[in-house]
Amino acid sequence: MTVITVENLRKRFNLEAGFFARFGRFVYAVNDVSFSIGQNESYGLVGESGCGKTTTARLLVRMYENDSGTITFRDAVDVKSLKGRDLKKYREKVKYVFQDPARSLNPRMSVYGVLTSGYRYSSAWPGEKKARGETAAILEEVGLSAADLERRPAEFSGGQRQRISIARGLLLQPDLLICDEVVSALDVSIQGQILNLLLDIRRRRSLSFLFIAHDLKVSSYFCDRIGVMYRGELMEEAVAADLYQTCLHPYTKLLFSSVAGKPGAETTDGPAQFSALLRGEVRTPVIELSGCAFAERCPLAEERCRREHPQMRDTGSAGHRVRCFKA
């Protein structure tokens, strides 16, 4: 069963801000992105900073409104058409965990206040007495104690604050949890604890995840499938367990080459050797691209790559798609 389907999603932002800013110059943040997430599936969006991962995630919960494309929830609900109470109920089923818990948790509130600040205005609010029992249980589920309910976020470590953020996301029993770089700011040992916690939660609740990261190693450990983004486009999508062995796009090879301690890095035809040939660095597009988004950095690029825009196509392997003429 499919939980959410994204088709041909696009979003651009005006390049200049302010009341007197000129209109007509844009940052093309998300360009024709399509993917789906099934029940009890974890889908990873991976790429460098500025590639459009977070913008895509925020479009899913309508923090931003998409310019075109569709987001369909549970095979029936057009998310863009939702208003009022229906939009509120949708956001109860699709919850967002932010990258930096120090900024997303109100330091003036107790943990109980943080957990229930949105819950008490939801359609599922059970009353104060029952809510206190539920928040105590959810804190214990994420590895904290019911006694922590009266403490403030500043009294916790970064990993513990992230557990509080996860607890807040789980309180309304969502169908999809969006995790936006939830381990990127944590020590490696704490990253492992948080990832294992999320795996346990997924197993117990049959929960679906959209997992956003820039680290392919972390994503390959946690996710079932991975979509690799560059300059607002999906460049490659494949089963996470096989992606290193089967990756075809030059940009995916570049990302793997940056992973320390990866298997096969010393081989003469491996991604590490390929990355030495790559040119330049990522730039956010401020004009609508006519050719391949990666052409200016790719050593395999030909005139066709700069002139024509490659479409996402199946490779013949189950679930493996790539956007490249040369792959």
Residue 210 belongs to some domain of the structure: yes
Ordered mean pLDDT values, 10 residues apiece, the chain (327 residues):
95 75 77 95 93 95 95 91 94 93 88 94 91 96 95 93 95 96 88 95 96 91 95 95 90 80 42 52 67 88 92 89 91
- Asked if the structure places residue 327 within a domain, the reply is no
**What pLDDT, on a 0 to 100 scale, did the predictor assign at position 289?**
75
Question: Does residue 226 lie in a domain region?
Answer: yes
- The answer to whether residue 267 is domain-embedded is yes
Q: What are phi and psi of 153, to 5 degrees?
A: -55, -35
Report the number of distinct structural domains present in the chain: 1
Q: Judge whether 193 lies within some domain.
A: yes
pLDDT of residue 267: 37
**DSSP strand E in the chain: where?**
2-14, 26-38, 42-46, 68-73, 77-78, 94-97, 176-180, 208-213, 225-230, 233-239, 313-314, 321-322
The predicted pLDDT at position 259 comes to 67
Polymer length in residues for the chain: 327
pTM summary value: 0.89
Whether 198 and 222 have beta carbons less than 8 Å apart is answered as yes
For residue 271, give its domain range: 2-322
Tell me the CATH number at 148: 3.40.50.300
